[in-house]
Amino acid sequence: MAFTLAELATVIGADLHCAPGDDAQRTITGCARLEDAGPNEVSFLANPKYASQLETTDAAAVILSPNVECDGKTLLTAKDPYFAFRKAMVELHGWRKHPDVTDGPISTMAVIDPTVKLGEGTVVHPYAVISAGVELGKNCVVYPHTFIGPDCKIGDDCILYPNVVVYDGCVLGNRVILHAGTVLGQDGFGYATREGQHHKVPQTGNVVVEDDVEMGANCAVDRATLGSTIIAAGTKFSDAVTIGHGSHVGKHNLFVGQVGLAGSVNTGDYVAMGGKVGVAGHLNIGSHVQLAATSGVMNDIPDGETWGGAPAMPLSQAKRVHLHSIRLPNLVARIKKIERDLEQSRSDDDGSTDQS
């Protein structure tokens, strides 16, 4: 869709400040980065380190916060510029359009058990396999080579991209998105070790994914040994996130790529974990906790704290430890010099004693 600047400002909840000679009726057809934007596109500035690009951008307008000054440019100011830009993206570009099924909406090349219940508007692509007892809600999209195991329950408006695997008995809420290669409900890493041998423990639980969860490519969520591994409503995973069996991930968590939780970890709501964070098993991570990238968590963390480092500790302490580690080569060199000087002093003292 296209909007005038004035219309777009109203739609995204921003205040329009036209540069001298500019026109609030200029047509806007899309969004682009500051360095790429043309005269009919809008861009945004959320990070101050890119402020220098404001002077050279050809964007029709820039979405930014009210406290940023930029003379000679048409601005759309908003308290949360990135969220306003998100609204502009939705209005101007919309969402990914799913390809039609040539012999659809339910492809004759899909393998669907006769007992499967499909909601109105659901689309199933070729080579998908849907097992006995499965229930899919309305307006779902199941891409090629996806496998849904027996007795799974999947809500409305879900999207399962190619090569997704949902093992038997798993439950998905409404508006769940699973990107390519993601697996839910594989056996948890459960073994009883006796006399050096590892004996598999049956994994009889399942995985429950609540409403509005999105998982990136190649994520893996283990089924519980008993009960359920739970991913609560609104949580978002990047790629290659791994969740151990019996864990409970709270509402609106945000996990960046390669985060890994061991088994039986509980996280509160609104937890954010940077890339490659690892959490040991049977720990409790409080609500509103933030973990810096590559943190190695080995202790419970109370609500609202920010930790980092490996092993993880409060971030202020982790920064000090990191700064000291940077100074280690110089400290080692100084200690070696002190040792040499001390040894030399002792040699000098011994020589003086011998002469006397």
Q: What is the CA radius of gyration of the chain?
A: 28
Q: Give the closest residue to 308 by CA, choosing from 325, 332, 284, 291.
A: 291
Catalytic residue list contains 288: no
Determine contact, residues 4/74, Cβ cutoff 8 Å. no
Residue of 98, 179, 199, 245 with catalytic role: 245
273 by Cβ neighbours in 10 Å (0-12 / 13-18 / 19+) ranks as buried
Nearest-angstrom CA–CA distance, 213 and 82? 21
SS3 of residue 214 by DSSP: strand
Question: For residue 90, how many other CB atoms are within 10 A of its CB?
Answer: 13
Q: What is the pairing mode between strands 313-314 and 306-308?
A: antiparallel
The residues pairing with 153 across neighbouring beta strands, listed in sequence order, are 135, 171
Amino acid making up residue 11:
V
Give residue 146's Cα distance to chain centre: 22
Q: Which helix (H) or strand (E) holds 333?
A: helix 315-355
Catalytic residues: 245
